[in-house]
Each structure stands twice: as C-alpha cells, then as structure tokens.
Structure 1
C-alpha cells in the first residue's frame, strides 16, 4: 500500500512539474480543448501570442481564432475530426488575435484518450509569421520551431528537479537516448555524460551555470543507453516559481552528429585547399627563381669555354676554370632539385643508374636530414637500371627520408638500400629493383598504417607537414609500374620499400663528345643580352655564324631576309609573343626551317612537349652540339 502511495505521489509530482513547464513556456500557446472544441485551459504563451486572458477564452470554442472565411469553410471542425480519427492534426495558417491583427501560426492538435475514450484535445500554437515571410530563415531554423511536447521526436525534452533528477521524459528522449520513461525517471541526468566528463564534474557545472545565469548551452559528446556516443546540442533553462525560487530545469537535447561530421569535413577540405594553394604558390615562386638562376648559370657556362681557350696550357688557370665549371654544374643540379621538390618538373621517364643517381643527390639528402641523422647508402654492385622520371624519383626519395628523419627526433641512422628482386606472385610479377628506406624511429600505430598513403593525411602538428609526402611516393611507384610497401613496429622503426620494374641499359654519348662541327647561320632569339652573348660564344665555337634578335617580333622581321639556316630561341621572353609562339609562327611561314627551343623554366617544357626539340638551360657545349646535329638541315 505504501509503495502504491509513493508511486501515486511521484506521478502527481511529475504531472505538477510538467504543468509548470507548460505554464512557463511563452513562445507557444498550449491549451486544452474538450471533445467539442471548447477551451478548458490557457497558458502564458497563449496569452502573449493571442492577447486574451484566460477568463476571456475558457469556455469558448477555439474556432474564434480562425479567419471568418475559414470558419465558414468548416476548418475548425475538420481539424478536430482529423485529430479524432488520426490522433493528430497539424497545419499552418492565418489566425486572429484579440485586437484583430493576424499572425501566421503553426498548429498541432493531439487527441487525448483515457481508457480508450476521447476526453479532449491538446492544442499547441506558435506564431511563425516572420518565418513565413522569410522562407530561407524558416529552413535554417526549422528544427527550433518544432513542437516540444507530445509526439516530438527530434528533441529530447524533459524536466530535472533542482538536484538534476529526471522527473519526466518525452518520445524524443526515448528515441535519441534509448531509455523508456520507466527506466530514466528518477535517475540523475549525469548518466548521459561520458565517464571522463562525470569525473571532471561537468554535469554539476552545467546546472550551476544555468542556476546563476538562467540558461546553459553547449555542444559535446553524450552517451546512449547502449553505450554509443552522439554529438549533442544541449540547452538547460532554469525554471523558477512565482516566488523566484528554483524549482527545477527544462532540458532540451538534440543529436547533431551528422551536422558536426559535415562541419569537420568542411574544415578538412578547407585545410587541404589551403595546403594546395601554398604548394602551388611555392611552385610558382620556385619556377620563376629557377628561370632567372638558370640564365645566370647559362652566362657562366657559356663563358667557361672562352676561359678554357684563353687559358691554353696554363695548368693553374685550367684548374681555376674547371672549379668554376664544376660549381656551375652543381648550381644547375641544385636548381633541378629545387624544381623537383616544388613539383614543377614534368614527368619524363628515362633509364637511370640507381648507384649513380643516389650518389649524385647524396649531398642534397645529407643537408635535408640535418646534423642529428646519419645517412647510410648501400647499393648492390649489379643493381639493374630503372626507367623513371629522375625528378619524381628524387622527390619520392626525399619524402621517404624526411619521414624517416621526423620519426627520430633524437637522431639516429637512416639506411637506404637498393637491390634486385623477382616477384613471382601478386598483381605485379617480374624483375624489380627494391629501394628500401629504413629508420629506427618511433614506428607507426597499426590503425594508422592503412592511412599513411592517403593525400593530406598527416600525424604531424599543424604547419609541420602537408600530408602529401607519402601519397606522392605511392603515386610515383604505381605510375612507374611498381608498388610500395610499408612495415612498421612501434618503438622499433619503419621500413618503406619502393619496387620499380627492371629497365634497360642505354649507352649515352660521352659528356664531352661533340656530335659534329656546325656550319651555316643561326638566328639566336634571346631577350637577355648577357645570356645571348654566352650562347653566341658556344655557337661560334661549333662553327656557326650568329645573328641575334632580342624578341620574337624582331626575329620574324629578321627571317624576312635570306640566309638563316636555323632558329635557336628561348621560350620565356618579354613581349607579345614568347618563344613557343615564335616557333609555331615559323612553322607556319617557313615550314622547312629547323627550330630549337631553350628554357630554364620547366613549365614551358610541358607546354611545348612534342612540338619542338627543347634544350634545358644551362646547357653544355656538347649538349648544344648534339641538339643542333639532330635538327634536319634546311
């Protein structure tokens, strides 16, 4: 008997708390109708929205709020009939206030049954006039204007007593959090928080903030009955009685996990875009600097041969000239490396000797690794050649070494090995060269291994990595017809292996070998006078007569005269027409006239590829000789 009394008392208290909640709502008109539609209760929201005091409307038919034409059309009766037959009526339409003004209302009428018998209706009305006039605003905030009582499922709407005990529960709470009213009423609301948040005292702080300031709002993780997590938007309003004393809290929770996921994805895309834009800007800057630097090297290279001739048999002078020549060659190599690392080199697969390649870039690699990391290179003596783009290969190797370096913040040894291997199973079968980069660093967690080749994925702090390094390695290996593997163990290190298909050896001409001695007249088109002078010296040493034009327009005028046997033009020049445009104009007007292009700007090579032969600046005498010899005579 005592248990029954306690249960009834709890039910009465729960109903009283809920009535207080309804009475305290001012944004909604919430009131009861008897089965005939006569108003039997009236809340503060109804008084504010419609302008009537309770004594003015209780006992009158709710049709009084409709427009005259709607009453004549039988809309009030239709609304009750729909609610009676279907359990609920919901609509939007114009309603009339006490002062005769109209407002656009969102209306819900729920049929109330007791023991299967209709005892009346619960009616909720909200003024949504502004939303009706601004559909965009309505769409943006539609969730806030849904009903918060009855059959609302998008929101968990419930009351807490002053200590945080749940005193009532709606369908939305059951759907979102998984608890039935019997399971949750009487329990503390902190059970919806994670263990860590409970230990940190977040539930108590939320109630205290709402008590002190009237409202508490936040977003955070919450826990469902089944233990799963969801990202919640939470509002807690302090509810006070007429005497100002705190009697509890109204709490509204919404699951916004999908919205948060979309926001996180958007932020990720924005970061990726920013990284791409930074890389593109770096590439453009580097390309421009490389063009100017290659022109400077061209001036040095062109005059080296004059210095050699002037030095004669003077051994001391020859050593000095050779030192200058080696420095210019190293400068050209460094420029190519800059273009490679800035991703401004075009893909141009050629056979390369791995032993020579690794040792040629050793100095750059050592510099990039820093003083704490030692580089050890072990290449088998009989390693096969591979056919790859040298620039892409260098970039892939540098990316692997940078990752190895970063895995050993305290320093250590990075080992690069290259050897032959044969793969007999899997998608890629045959002879391959395996290039391994091994470190003794911290290793990679198993759950991260599968993501390391994804573009923009990085575990490094913001600003310390783009997340593009290993994705470039992966793309390079597969583009070359090979693959890449990764083996890692936490605390012991990581080994990344690139497998590249076995290539064929090609016999290249000797570096200093001149293909032939030239004859005839060359029209040299170059906008930099110093570069033009250096290039003319080389052409004259090969036996050519030289005419100089500073731009494309001057070159076309020069070609109106006879006596030009071939045109040698820079691609990137000032003026309305660049070298590529000049070459195409010559091809149209003088189809039999050979054209050789030169550039120190790698992107120009890509745009001209396949149309005309191209010589990269800075070029040596033997390279110029070979390129000119390959041109068909006029």
Structure 2
C-alpha cells in the first residue's frame, strides 16, 4: 500500500489546526508531519520535512503567510503550498498564485471538501483527473477570473450552514465594509492589502486586483509615518492616525486611521485601514485661513490693536485710541507709568517685562502671547510685539509696542481642538468597534460550524478525548457568540435610547440565584458566594436585571480571583447589589474609564461594564466601582412597600 502524501498545517488558531489535523487523520489520505503557528514555523517545517503539501494561513503574528510563501518555496521547492484564509479570495487568490502558491482555499469550505482538494493537489501528474472543484473557487468560477458573482455564490453556500441570525450579521458586516463612504482595507501584519472596498479602489484610481498584496507604505509619498504606525500597532498601540501624500500623486493628501484586530491574548491578527482623500479639504482650509487672516487684519487694525511707544526704560511715552479701547486707560492715566502695570503679579515678580525689553534691545524684536491686565483688573489673552527703535546714529530711543486682543481666537482654537479630539475619539471607537466585531464573529462562527459537522459525521470515529475537546470548544464558542450578540444589541439600543424596558416588580433573591446558578454551570468549579437580604423587590426589567448582574459576575470571574461574593441589601429607597472578587482590585489608572465603551478591552468586545451602567441608568439607578472594598455596585429603585 503506497504511503500517504505528507502535509504540514500552519495556522495561528489552535482550534483550526485541531479541526484540520483531525479531519486529515480521519480521512487516512494525507499524513500530517508537522504543525506551526506563524510564518517562521512554516519556513523551518518546510526545511525540516520537505512535505508534499503545506496548508498555510495568510494572516499570522510574527510573519504572515504572504511573507513566508516565497521563503517556504526556497526551502522546499517541491512543496505545493495551499493558502488557507478567512479573507475573501477575490484578488488575493491570484496574488498568492503569482507568489508561487498552488491553490487558495477559504476557511469557509467544508472540511470534507478541503481534504478532497488537498488530496487532488498532492496527486502526482497523470495520477487521475482531479475532482470537479479542483482549481476553481467555491462558487464554480475559475480561480483566475471568478468575480463578484462567484464570491457572492460562495458566501451564500457557506452561510447556509450558519445560524440565520449570525449569517445576517456577517452579511451586514460585509455590506458595511464594501459600501462604506470612506476607503477601507484589511491588511496583513506586514501592512499588505488583502482586501479593499470600492471606495478605496476609487480613491486610488486602480483596480482591486492590482491593490491586493500591495504594501500600503508603498502608496505613500513618505513611507516612514506609515511604517512607524504599523510598528506601533504591532507593539500593542491603539489606533494610529496619520496624513500623507501619494507616491504617484504628491499633491493629493490622504488622512488614514490604522487599527489592529486582536486575538483573546491582545495580539494583533491583522490590521484595518480607513482612509479619506482630504486634498480638497486641506486646500479649502488653507484658502479659508488666508481669507480669515486678511479679514482679521482689517478688523483688528481698526479695533483690536494697541499701538504705543515706550522709552528706553519701559515707561509709556505715547498712547493711541486702540490702546485706550483695549486696555481701558486714557492717555492721562498711563503716560509716564512703567508698562509692567499691564502684566499679572507673578510676571511682574519674575521681572518678565524687563526681560522682554532686554531681548528686544539685543535682537531688535520680541514677540509672545500671554495674559495681560486691563485697568479694571480683567484679563485678556494678548499677542504682543515689541520692536527696538533707533535713531539715525543707531542710538536706542525707545520701543514700539503692538498689542492685539487674541482672547476670542484662543477660545476658538481651544473649541476646535476639543472638537477634533471628539472626532478622533469617535473615529477610533468606530474603527475598534468594527474591527472587534468582525474578528469576534468570523473565527467562532467558522469553528462552531466545522466542529458541529465533524461531530455529526464522525462521532463514532473520534476518540473520547477528541469528542470531549470538541464539545467543550462548542460550549465555549456558543457562549462567546451569545454574549457578543447580546452585548452588541444592548449597546446599540443604549446608544439609540431604545432599550424598550418592561419594568415590573422583580424578587431580587430569585433573580440573583438564577444568575449564580448559570455562572456555576458555564464555569465548573467557579467559587461564588451569594448573600441576599430576604424580601427584596426592585422595579426592573427581569431580563435586563439578569444581564447586568451576569456581566458583573463574569467580569469578576474573568479578571479577578476566587471566591466571588454576590450580595444584595436594602438601602433607603434603593436596593444595592454588589459583586466583589478576592483579587487586588482595579488599578488606579483604569478606574476612570471602567464604564466607557471599549474602556478596558482585554479580549472580547469591551462593552460589558458600559452596558451595565447604561442599563442601570435607564432604570433610574447607577453602577459604580467602590475603591474601599474593591466591589462593583449596582443601585436600583426599590419597589414601594417591599
């Protein structure tokens, strides 16, 4: 009996490697001789085993599949590399073939079909006709020219096996990406584009296939900011914003936001790009700025300029009408007095006015902005220019001093900075929301569907350990999806103020016992102590009350130490529910943003505590963190008479 062809499986997700290895073993048609988690492993495994096949993931930490592919073929030229990816194959498949890949397979393909295709690829030339699907994409079109229609058919086939709700969510996320009004792309950890939406393709004036595999830094006029931003993301930084010109069109300006999609250990899996052409905006801003400057000069020359002379020692020697309007002194009030009178007391003590004159005397001119005082003691923000004045013989005869009231301009700049900061935070939140949601759905849905199919078809063939591992994996994945969908829906409704609460009297004891029982069931061995005062009744939506307490309990079990104490007591017109673990508590630098959206993301959506506070406030209550006893506290209205 001939030996089975050898294969190496390289993917950063242990669950994916387990599924593929198990299916290959069950088929008995291919022998797995090695497995790896990144591109570095791929090259070493190719060199060590020279396998007939390698199944290679596209996006992995350290070195991605696109970077590893040529190195694998250098190490083992006879190895046939099959790229395996959760990204759509459109454009990416052709690019990987140009790099030397034999085939490109999406992770949504059924495992039985995956094995068939791998066996067909491993078959020696002339060893029989390959299966009908070999060399074709999942929708039936050839890999070289299968367009949007084929991709759509492929997605529809894969999504038929998914829960309808999840399939609907996935399709919505695809639509959001493809139809977004800004340019968007997903990139490998090396910064190469693997998928671009229509808007980005239009902005760059290229076709989608030409962009696939292109390093985004190569598109920039100056690649340094892009490369530095990508490195910051790889090192664990947050969203990076930058602006750059285009290499082939230097006059155009692009504003880009780069963010990382992270795994459960906060490691970057791939990058998300959002880009906009701001060329016209910057030109309009420059034109507006120039117009504003001319207008401001005209107006301020009439109303806002104080122009007067100082003698060589700093005493006021002349005074104009603009100075009187700005500072409140008449000519009789001020002429002959030292100009330090216009400065706050601290500046006078520092002899700052004399320092200004010394610089103007030495360098010919002095300019600054700072606080000045009017006659009535009120402050204004002044732009000051002091120019040394010399006679024909070069002897210093005094100083010309021009002061302009810039208080309003300063206020506008501060407001603009605040507005820009709000926009930046909003853009970063949206980018993180999209990146987190896309990642959180894609992997668990694929794993859950494939695991269920493997158990259904090969239950009796699996070892007891494999069945136990698969069952536990399905439970964790299903719980992860349920929590994700609950959190997303609740956060969306909270933002839209459309929670639709059904408030009624709810016995606290029954509700908390149900939550604790559920938590113990989902986390065997969890130590949870319940202490509830008898007879407590709150006015709340039962389901939302359970969701709030469940989020707090899961938060304590996930980030704290056992045992976890859940307690409830009456306090005036309120019922106070507290959840406390036995760990060291929340670090001081995190407390201020505990209940913000994505405020403390360490795997998952980062919405749990945000949802607790939003639901509590919707009930007329509040959610807080008490530093004294390191507990999370939920305060809700108590049912009258209870």
TM-score normalised by the shorter chain: which range applies? 0.3 to 0.5
Instruction: Tell me the TM-score normalised to structure 1 length.
Output: 0.40
Could you state the TM-score of these two structures normalised by the residue count of structure 2?
0.39
| Structure number with larger C-alpha Rg | 1
